[in-house]
Amino acid sequence: MKAVIEGLLFVSGEEGMDKKQLAEVLGEDLESVNKGIEALTADYSEGNRGIQILEAGGTLQLTTKAEHAPYFKKLVQSPASATLSQAALETLAIIAYRQPVSRVEIEDVRGVKSERPIRTLMGKLLIREAGRAEGTGRAILYGTTPEFLEQFGLRSIEELPPLPENPDTEDAEGEADLFFERFQEQFDEPS
């Protein structure tokens, strides 16, 4: 059960899961789930591990340990991490043009999960939490940062290149690829 709990917390990402959700997915009672969580937490604290289980507001998440933060900072700032993946570029473009925008709205446009690209972009300080949506769940809304503007040589978001007028045409995919190449070239250039 520990391995499954660990896997579930890993795939739930920054949203995490509460104990009731874990019990439902595992088909176990809360007492068994609590024992599994306690055993897993003990494994993380006893061993020389880089992750831990954090409980905040009733939600459990796998997180890195605070004492390792200087290494994570180096990773984010290293030249090898300077380029953005196609997924991160797509996500960044959606956020730039539609901000403030929720993860669900980003995923609707992309058609795939976007948690990892969002984490990457936040780690590179290109996007930030820009508030919460109204309604059920109060989803996090994302927007660009001053670092985004600086990185791409923009004075304001209004200076973004215009989107194609007819995105349903056959040329739209080629135009999108050119746009992403231009975005990537700008990101690769030293600022």
Task: Encode pLDDT of 43-72 as tens digits.
Answer: 998 868 899 999 888 899 999 888 888 887
Q: Three-state SS across 20-46?
A: HHHHHHHCCCHHHHHHHHHHHHHHHHH
* Number of helical (H) and strand (E) elements in the chain, helices listed first: 9, 6
In which band, very low, low, confident or very high, does the pLDDT at 77 lie, cut at 50, 70 and 90?
Answer: low
| pLDDT of 12 | 87
Do 106 and 170 lie in one domain? The reply is: yes
Whole-angstrom distance, CA of residue 101 vs CA of residue 22: 29
- Give me the residue label for tokens 């080629």: 174
Whole-angstrom distance, CA of residue 191 vs CA of residue 186: 9
Do 45 and 92 lie in one domain? The reply is: no
- pTM assigned to the model: 0.50
Whole-angstrom distance, CA of residue 74 vs CA of residue 86: 23
Rounded alpha-carbon distances, angstroms, from residue 32 to 14, 39, 110: 24, 11, 39
Do 46 and 118 lie in one domain? The reply is: no
Whole-angstrom distance, CA of residue 8 vs CA of residue 21: 10
Do 99 and 149 lie in one domain? The reply is: yes
Q: Which of 34, 67, 100 is the last residue of a domain?
A: 67
In which band, very low, low, confident or very high, does the pLDDT at 107 lie, cut at 50, 70 and 90?
Answer: very high
Q: Which of 20, 37, 67 is the last residue of a domain?
A: 67
Domain hosting residue 40, numbered range: 2-67
Whole-angstrom distance, CA of residue 188 vs CA of residue 185: 5
| pLDDT of 159 | 85
| pLDDT of 172 | 46
| pLDDT of 191 | 44
Calculate mean pLDDT across residues 28-51: 91
Answer yes or no: is pLDDT of 157 > 80.
yes
Of the two residues 26 and 163, the one the predictor is more confident about is: 26
Do 167 and 89 lie in one domain? The reply is: yes
Q: How many residues does the chain have?
A: 191
Answer yes or no: is pLDDT of 96 > 50.
yes
